[in-house]
Amino acid sequence: MSQFILPYFVVQGNGQKQPIASMPGIYRFSIDKLLEDIDPVVAQGLDKILLFGLPREKDELGTEAFADDGIVQQAVKVIKDHFPQLIVMTDVCLCAYTTQGHCGVMTNDKCQMSNDGVTIDSEATLEALARIAVSHARAGAAYVAPSAMMRGQVRAIRKALDDNSYQQVKIMAYSAKFASSFYGPFREAMNCSPAFGDRRGYQLDPRDSQAALERIRIEIDEGADMVMVKPALAYLDIVFQAKQLFNKPVAAYNVSGEYVLLHGQPTLIKEAIIAIQRAGADYIITYHAKEFI
Ligand code: PBG
């Protein structure tokens, strides 16, 4: 079993392998091209991928995120047909699917700016996240990975999965997800920058390690099978503490901005990955994964 998890960006269409300007060496693939790319890495021993989908169209409620023929749902089905052993993990969020580019739903009367960001309708968002998770499970995902930082997201998803007889589907919770500038290149890749405001209203304050550890504890209580710290390199103290304090596998997400900093410098990449391992991460989500399997 590999410690590495490779993220993939998947788009609609055929024959697409679109270079991402902000992330050299990384592409958005249509499903057919994605299969071609996965084939050799699976042969080398990669056993886990994390899928992000770019919808054909965005709308206010992010409906393509939970459509059974949505891009991620289609991709999971085809990937599982071709690589039945591969553990497919799916990002569960709304920001790539909503026109406002936030990780949650805003109803008109609640769509107000607050000082530190925006106000999100948490009830509608939890309902949407649960629907997304169930649709991914139906397609064949082994893990769903809620990344919206909505309070109660793990509980809502666990309940929806259980109610729909997906008890075996696990949750990798983005529990300690900081409001980070290291996500910049990813937002260009996914076309998911907020149309207004920022994500500080729901992502964690980089100065507040206690809040991060508390959120991890809460999401484990709610039913997370694996917890994540994100970004990785700038937050190794949190990875270390999460590993010491809790009895759950910890994943560290070596994010897009960290990828770009080290891209093309194999010795630096190796040393950085060793640092993440030394901090205690059980799993490492990284765009460099192909270099380590
Ligand atoms: C969506 C999401 C983001 C990332 C993963 N899921 C962006 C964000 O929260 O703004 C970032 C990943 C990366 O930078 O590699 N909620």
**Residue 277, domain CATH:** 3.20.20.70
Of 195-209, 219-233, 248-262, the least confident? 195-209
- Whether this prediction's pTM lies above 0.75 is answered by yes
User: Is it the case that residue 31 has pLDDT exceeding 90?
Assistant: yes
Q: How far is the CA of 183 from the centre of ligand 1 (A)?
A: 6
Q: How far is the CA of 146 from the centre of ligand 1 (A)?
A: 11
- Residue 159 phi, psi (nearest 5): -65, -45
- Mean pLDDT for the stretch of residues 222-237: 98
Task: Tell me the per-residue pLDDT of 58-86, one tens digit each, with 9 for 90 and over.
Answer: 998 899 999 999 999 999 999 999 999 99
Task: Tell me the per-residue pLDDT of 124-139, one tens digit each, with 9 for 90 and over.
Answer: 999 999 999 999 999 9
- For residue 221, give the 3-state DSSP assignment: helix
Domain that holds residue 276: 4-292
Q: How far is the CA of 130 from the centre of ligand 1 (A)?
A: 19
Per-residue tokens: 29: 């693939």
State which ligand 1 atom lies nearest to the alpha carbon of 184: 14
pLDDT score of 110: 47
Per-residue tokens: 264: 């093309």
For CA atoms 111, 117, 123, 129, the dihedral sign is positive
Q: If you take atom 5 of ligand 1, which residue's CA is the nearest one?
A: 147
Instruction: Name the binding residues for 5-aminolevulinate.
Output: 187, 199, 256, 287
Residues 124 and 101: their CA atoms lie apart, in Å, by 16
Q: If you take atom 7 of ligand 1, which residue's CA is the nearest one?
A: 183
Instruction: Name the binding residues for Zn(2+).
Output: 93, 95, 103
User: Is it the case that residue 115 has pLDDT exceeding 50?
Assistant: no
Query: In a 10 Å sphere around its CB, with 0-12 CB exposed, 13-18 middle and 19+ buried, how is residue 109 labelled?
Result: exposed
Is the distance from CB of 46 to CB of 289 less than 8 angstroms?
yes
- Mean pLDDT for the stretch of residues 183-200: 88
> What are the helix (H) ranges across 94-224?
122-139, 153-163, 184-190, 209-222
Residues 173 and 166: their CA atoms lie apart, in Å, by 17
The alpha carbon torsion through 260, 243, 213, 133 (nearest 10 deg) reads 70
Residue from 33, 48, 170, 230 carrying the catalytic annotation: 230
**177 a catalytic residue:** yes
Ligand 1 pocket (Cβ < 6 Å) reads 91, 93, 95, 103, 147, 183, 186-187, 199, 255-256
Q: How far is the CA of 8 from the centre of ligand 1 (A)?
A: 12
Place of tokens 């901005």: 257
- Give the number of other CB atoms < 10 A from CB of residue 121: 18
User: Is it the case that residue 122 has pLDDT exceeding 90?
Assistant: no
Residue from 48, 77, 170, 177 carrying the catalytic annotation: 177
Instruction: Name the binding residues.
Output: 93, 95, 103, 187, 199, 256, 287
For CA atoms 106, 107, 110, 111, the dihedral sign is positive
Give the residues across from 24 on adjacent strands.
none
Of 29-43, 178-192, 249-263, the least confident? 178-192
Task: Tell me the per-residue pLDDT of 127-173, one tens digit each, with 9 for 90 and over.
Answer: 999 999 999 999 999 999 999 999 999 999 999 999 999 999 999 99
Closest CA to 93 of 57, 123, 64, 56: 64
Q: How many domains does the chain have?
A: 1
CA angle 177, 265, 87 (to 5 degrees): 50
Is the distance from CB of 68 to CB of 138 less than 8 angstroms?
yes
Per-residue tokens: 265: 């410098």
State which ligand 1 atom lies nearest to the alpha carbon of 182: 14
CA 87 remoteness from chain centre? 14
State which ligand 1 atom lies nearest to the alpha carbon of 96: 1
